[in-house]
Amino acid sequence: MSKSALCCAGPVNGCTRLAGHGGETRLTVCTRPDGDRTVVTVRGDLDLTADQELQQALRSALTDSGKGIDLDLGGVEFCDCSGLNALLGIRQQALDQCKTATIRTISPAAERVFSLTDTLPLFAPEGEVDQEDDASQSSTDPRVEVVQLRRAMQTRGLIDLARGILMATFSLSAEEAWNVLVMTSQNTNTKLHRAAQQLVDSVRGEPPPEAALKQLSAAVTHVTAGRERAREAE
């Protein structure tokens, strides 16, 4: 999958723009026909504040399509479990309508979330599955696919709880807490939902592994230092 694409390239059916604080556009969703499919170009932040508007735009695009939608996520700058769940939800709706939802292009920010949750293969266009990759091979097994989908959607509450703990403990913003959790997951080679569970368990009296605690501390230091550098640059 390529990493970038132009927003609104070609004939456009419609664009949905969601403004955040200060009136700045945080999310843009544009659709255009492509044969019997609809290309949906998403740019900006996929988080809880965009959840309902994103789902509405995706449902509309799916309804207007003949065989399904192709997602261009090359312009996504931030994506958390809320954005992931919205995309998983539209994929399920597409299947219910005998259609498909695939990802044509994806940014590193979005790909990171899909990789951590093992859900990227669920959106692979036909013919692009790497038969030499065991993980990709498993996505062709409906039983494995159901497990991946269910786990990704059911762990949202756990991940949000872990993020809230980080926000309260270290005075982080929602995005900073998400970045700390993701960095800890990556640096300990632990799935995102498992890293979140360890953090939640630590509040209940069960200390996380020493390696995880060390990487969590390093991630918090990295994120807070980046915040201070940004303030000094203003």
DSSP calls for 52-112: HHHHHHHHHHHHH-SSEEEEEEEEEEEE-HHHHHHHHHHHHHHHHTT-EEEEEEE-HHHHH
Please tell me the predicted confidence (pLDDT) of residue 40. Answer: 95
What does the domain layout of the chain look like in residue ranges? 14-140, 156-233
pTM above 0.95, yes or no: no
pLDDT for 76 beyond 70: yes
Query: CA–CA separation, 103 vs 88, rounded Å?
Result: 11
pLDDT for 20 beyond 60: no
Contacts of 215 (CB under 8 A, 6+ apart): 183, 184, 187, 188
Please tell me the predicted confidence (pLDDT) of residue 187. Answer: 87
Helices (H), ranges, the chain: 51-64, 81-96, 108-116, 134-138, 142-154, 156-170, 174-187, 192-203, 210-233
Please tell me the predicted confidence (pLDDT) of residue 153. Answer: 54
Q: What is the pLDDT of residues 166-191, one digit of tens each?
A: 888 888 888 888 889 888 988 888 88
CA 200 to chain centre: 21
Please tell me the predicted confidence (pLDDT) of residue 62. Answer: 94
Q: Tell me the residue type at 205.
A: G
How far lies 6's CA from each of 43, 50, 86, 167, 216, in Å?
Answer: 10, 21, 22, 35, 36
Task: Map residue 27 onto helix, strand or coil.
Answer: strand
Task: Map residue 38 onto helix, strand or coil.
Answer: strand
What number of other Cβ atoms are within 10 A of residue 172's Cβ?
A: 19
CA 78 to chain centre: 8
Query: CA–CA separation, 26 vs 6, rounded Å?
Result: 17
Out of 77-86, 92-101, 112-121, 146-155, give the one with best mean pLDDT.
92-101
Span 14-140: which CATH code? 3.30.750.24
